[in-house]
Copies of this chain bind each other. A is one copy, B any other.
Amino acid sequence: MSAASRAKRHQPDMDVTVLEQTDDVSYSACGMPYNIAEADREIDELVVRKAQVFRDKQGIDLLTGHRVEAIDAGRKTVAGRTASGEAFRFSYDKLLIATGGSPVLPDIPGIGLPGVTALKSLGDGRRIKKYLAAHPVKRAVIVGMGYVGLEMAEALRSRSIDVDMVKPGPVLLPWMATELSDTVKKELEDNRVGLYAGHAVERIESVDKRLAVHCAGQTLEADLVLIAIGITPNSGIAVAAGLATGPKGAITVDRAMRTSDEHIYAAGDCADAYNVVNNERVWVPLALRANRAGWAVADNVCGKAVELPGIAGTAVFKVFDLQVARTGLTPDEAAASGFDPVGAVIRARSRAHAHPGSCTITTHMLADKQSGRLLGTQMVGKEGVAHRINAVAVALYNRMTVADFAQTDLAYAPPFGPTWDPMLTTANQLLKKL
């Protein structure tokens, strides 16, 4: 929708048709856990702009309930079926694939039982809210321990639902340094979330109106099971049309968002991006990039050549009272890209010496030992983490060394940090290892 809107703003006389399989467009998907946390809020509060507005105010031919099933790149047509089963076919001059991603569902018995669900679309959110309203849910099991799982743990706990989280891997957040992930773990435990890392889920059974989640060495009971083990790009029709795909099966796009077919663009969670640190293709399905890529497609289609530099992989999430943020590469990613990664983990205060209300901010900063380049940073703390990480993200775009970053003039006032910002303290310590 961001591409469609921008294209119509650039060229009001352009015929812009949007084919959407559901009835929902333009909503804040990331807001769903926070909406689900409050029984009284309508899920439709998350709708940013209604379909009718796109049609009436912007002149976009927005067709909901239209599922595209095939692209004929030679004839430049797309074909599919409506929700009521009617076949359709449209021709295009330029096509944008913005099919998003779908939750990964493990192939285990019981995955289709009522009360077992994922959370990706607004429809999923709507279904979960209805289920919670209609059933006395006392206990939930969340399969997976990523962003969405952690946000949903908080949401369900705030509705006084007991929560257990389970995953096959042995570590809560394997991309984080232990000092940081242990802080997250403690926050979850302090909020009475049961953590069962290292238990593969084998099957889900319906037992006496409840659900039994059978894992390797553990059975967890629940009234609701949320599957949150990640998403996968919806690149099926792109693959079938012969378009190139790359990391995780996402559609390969160049910096102008063009696929391997010059008339077809891709943007959003179905498409890949360049990482600005290692210049490699990555698939990181995040909202800002999706919006930005939509704009870039509109610009390019309308003749205003735009190339996006890529992403730093900046992300932040809230786990109860904790802010968890990252940008750039992890040590494993850095090593795989040929860097010689060296890191420093430093605990610092969130406020100045003797200022009341201070908490600990733990920062893990990573550099390349050969070049001294800053490669990435992760931070955890109860305040001052979410926006601090942006300073490192900007540094990554500029390929700064840790030595240069350590000299930047960051804001200081006693309520907001120590004289030496935690990022600077970490950079100074990291410099000693370079």
Contact status B404-A408, CB under 8 Å: no
Q: Which of A391-433 contact B (CB under 8 A)?
A: 391-395, 397-398, 400, 404-405, 407-417, 419-421, 423-424
CA distance A412 to B317 in the complex (A): 8
Q: Does A152 contact B (CB under 8 A)?
A: no
Enumerate chain B residues within 8 angstroms of A413, measured Cβ to Cβ.
30, 315-318, 386
- The answer to whether A353 and B412 touch (CB under 8 A), given A288-B419, A394-B391, A395-B394, is no
Contact with B along A20-62 (1 / 0, CB 8 A): 0000000010110011001000000110100000000000000
Q: Which among B287, B310, B313, B387 is the interface contact of A388 at CB below 8 angstroms? A: B387
CA distance A227 to B313 in the complex (A): 48
Enumerate chain B residues within 8 angstroms of A392, measured Cβ to Cβ.
394
Contact status B409-A393, CB under 8 Å: yes
* Smallest CB separation, A35 vs chain B (Å): 7
What is the interface size of chain A, counting residues whose CB is below 8 A from a CB of the partner?
67
CA distance A313 to B394 in the complex (A): 18
Enumerate chain B residues within 8 angstroms of A323, measured Cβ to Cβ.
416
Contact status B389-A411, CB under 8 Å: yes
Enumerate chain B residues within 8 angstroms of A388, measured Cβ to Cβ.
387, 390
Contact status B404-A309, CB under 8 Å: yes
Q: Does A305 contact B (CB under 8 A)?
A: no
Enumerate chain B residues within 8 angstroms of A308, measured Cβ to Cβ.
407
* Smallest CB separation, A356 vs chain B (Å): 8
- The answer to whether A314 and B410 touch (CB under 8 A), given A391-B390, A420-B291, is yes
Q: Does A354 contact B (CB under 8 A)?
A: yes
Which residue of chain B has the shortest Cβ distance to A317 in the bound complex? B413
Q: Does A98 contact B (CB under 8 A)?
A: no
Q: Does A331 contact B (CB under 8 A)?
A: no
Contact status A414-B31, CB under 8 Å: yes
Enumerate chain B residues within 8 angstroms of A28, measured Cβ to Cβ.
352-354, 414, 419
Chain A residues in the interface with B (C-beta under 8 A): 28, 30-31, 34-35, 38, 45-46, 48, 276, 286-289, 291-292, 308-318, 323, 325, 327, 352-356, 384, 386-395, 397-398, 400, 404-405, 407-417, 419-421, 423-424
